[in-house]
Chain A
Amino acid sequence: MTEPAPSPEAASGPPPSSGAIVTLDHVTKRFPGVVANDRVAFDLFPGEVHVLLGENGAGKSTLVGMLSGLQTPDEGGILIDGREASISSPARALELGIGTVFQHSMLVPSLSVVDNMALGGSWWSRPDRTGIAARMAAVAADIGVRIDPHARVGTLSLGEQQQVEIVRALMRGSRVLILDEATAMLTPKGAEDLGALMRRLTALGIAVVFITHKLNEALAFGHRITVLRLGRKVGEIAPERLEALGPAAATAEIIRLMFGTGDRKAAAEGGARAVRRRVSAPPLLEIEELAVDDMAVPVSGVTLSVAPGEIVGLAGIDGNGQKQFAEALAGQRRLAAGTIRLGGEAVERLDVGGRRARGLSYVTDDRLGEGTVGSFPVSLNLLLKQVGKDPFWRNGFERPEPIAAHAERLVGAYDVRTPGISTPIGKLSGGNIQKALLARELTGDTRAVIFAKPTYGLDVQNIRATRQRIREAADRGLAVILISTDLEEVLELSDRIAVMSRGHVVGMVDNDDAARARVGELMSGVGA
Chain B
Amino acid sequence: MSGTGSETTGMGAAGATLAPGGRGGAWRERGRLVVMTLGPILGALVLSGLLLLVLGVDPLAYYGYVVERGLLSPYGVQATFTRMGPLLLIAAGLIVAFRAGIWNLGGDGQFLLSAVVVAALAPLLAPLMPVWLVLLAALLVGALVGAAWSLLPALLKAYQGVNEIITTLMMTFLGVSFANVLVKLFFRDPTTTVPQTRTLPVADRLPRLFDTTVSSGVLIGLVAIIAVHVVMTRTAFGLKLRIVGANPRAAVHAGLNVPLLTVLTFALSAGLAGLAGAVEILGVQGNVRADWNPAYSLTVIPLVFLARFNGFASIAFVFLFSVLSIGGESAARRTGVPNFFTLVVVAILLVMLGVTEYLDQRRRAAGR
Q: Which residues of A contact B (CB under 8 A)?
A: 331-332, 351-353, 356, 362, 364, 366, 369-377, 380, 384-385, 387-388, 393, 396-398, 419-420, 422-424
Contacts and interface: CB of A to CB of B under 8 A. Distances in A.
Contacts of A370: 247, 249-250, 252-253
Contacts of B203: none
A424 B243 CA distance: 13
A85 B237 CA distance: 59
Interface stretch (B9-17, B73-81, B204-212): B9-17
Contacts of B11: 424
Contacts of A374: 3, 246-247
B144 to A, nearest CB: 23
Of the listed residues B13, B18, B253, the one surrounded by the most CB atoms of chain A closer than 10 A to its CB is: B253
A320 B10 CA distance: 41
Contact of A352 (B234, B242, B243, B253): B253
Interface string B198-237: 0000000000000000000000000000000000001111
Contacts of A385: 254-255
A366 B237 CA distance: 25
Interface in B241-266: 242-243, 246-247, 249-250, 252-257
Contact of B253 (A364, A419, A422): A364
Nearest 7 CB-CB pairs, A to B? A352-B255, A388-B236, A375-B3, A353-B255, A370-B249, A370-B253, A393-B236
Given A393-B236, A398-B236, A373 B250 contact: yes
Nearest to B253: A370
Given A396-B236, A398-B236, A351 B247 contact: no
Nearest to A392: B236
B235 A419 contact: no
Contacts of B236: 387-388, 393, 396-398
B81 to A, nearest CB: 31
Contact of B246 (A331, A332, A353, A373): A373
A408 to B, nearest CB: 14
B240 interface: yes
Contact of A420 (B4, B6, B14, B257): B14
Contacts of A420: 14, 17
Nearest to A384: B254
Contact of B254 (A387, A397, A423, A424): A387
A331 B17 contact: no
Contact of A373 (B13, B234, B243, B255): B243
Nearest to B9: A422
B7 interface: yes
B10 A398 contact: no
B337 interface: no
Nearest to B236: A388
B17 A387 contact: no
A351 B234 CA distance: 26
Contacts of B148: none
Nearest to A381: B250
A373 B247 contact: yes
14 contacts: A331-B255, A352-B252, A352-B254, A369-B250, A370-B250, A370-B252, A372-B247, A373-B250, A375-B6, A376-B243, A388-B240, A393-B235, A422-B10, A422-B14
Contact of B235 (A364, A398, A423, A424): A398
B57 interface: no
A375 B246 contact: yes
B241 to A, nearest CB: 10
B52 interface: no
B14 A419 contact: yes
Given A374-B247, A397-B235, A398-B234, A332 B10 contact: no
Contacts of A364: 253
B161 to A, nearest CB: 16
Contacts of B13: 422
B309 to A, nearest CB: 13
Residue in A351, A353, A380, A387 whose Cβ sees the most chain B Cβ within 10 Å: A387
B41 interface: no
User: Range of interface residues on chain B?
Assistant: 20 to 34
A375 B17 CA distance: 17
Given A375-B7, A384-B243, A369 B237 contact: no
A364 B253 CA distance: 9
B226 to A, nearest CB: 15
Interface in B1-41: 3-4, 6-7, 10-11, 13-14, 17-18
A346 to B, nearest CB: 18
A419 B235 CA distance: 25
Contacts of A332: 252-253
**B17, B236, B249 interface centre (most CB from chain A within 10 Å):** B236
B350 interface: no
Contacts of B155: none
B255 A377 contact: no
Given A385-B255, A398-B235, A369 B10 contact: no
Given A375-B246, A387-B236, A388-B236, 5 more contacts: A370-B250, A373-B247, A376-B7, A387-B240, A422-B14
B250 A371 contact: yes
B227 to A, nearest CB: 13
B239 interface: yes
B202 to A, nearest CB: 40
Nearest to A331: B255
Given A385-B254, A422-B13, A423-B14, A398 B249 contact: no
A351 B253 CA distance: 11
Contacts of B10: 377, 422, 424
B364 to A, nearest CB: 14
A403 to B, nearest CB: 11
A154 to B, nearest CB: 21
Contacts of A375: 3-4, 6-7, 246
B299 to A, nearest CB: 28
B252 A351 contact: no
A372 B246 CA distance: 10
A388 B235 CA distance: 8
Contacts of A398: 234-236, 239
B60 to A, nearest CB: 43
Contacts of A352: 252-255
| Residue from the set A351, A366, A419, A423 with the largest chain B CB neighbour count within 10 Å | A423
A398 B7 CA distance: 16
B29 to A, nearest CB: 15
A32 to B, nearest CB: 15
A81 B7 CA distance: 54
Given A374-B247, A388-B240, A424 B255 contact: no
B305 to A, nearest CB: 17
Nearest to B14: A423
Nearest to B256: A387
A353 to B, nearest CB: 4
A4 B161 CA distance: 56
A388 B234 CA distance: 11
B28 to A, nearest CB: 18
Contacts of B4: 375
Contacts of A371: 250, 253
A157 B17 CA distance: 55
A420 B240 CA distance: 23
B253 A424 contact: no
Contact of A372 (B7, B17, B235, B250): B250
A27 B247 CA distance: 38
Contacts of A388: 236-237, 239-240
Nearest to A380: B239
Contact of B18 (A369, A384, A419): A419
Nearest to A369: B249
Contacts of A424: 7, 10-11, 14
A396 B232 CA distance: 11
B4 to A, nearest CB: 6
Contact of B239 (A356, A387, A419, A422): A387
A189 to B, nearest CB: 33
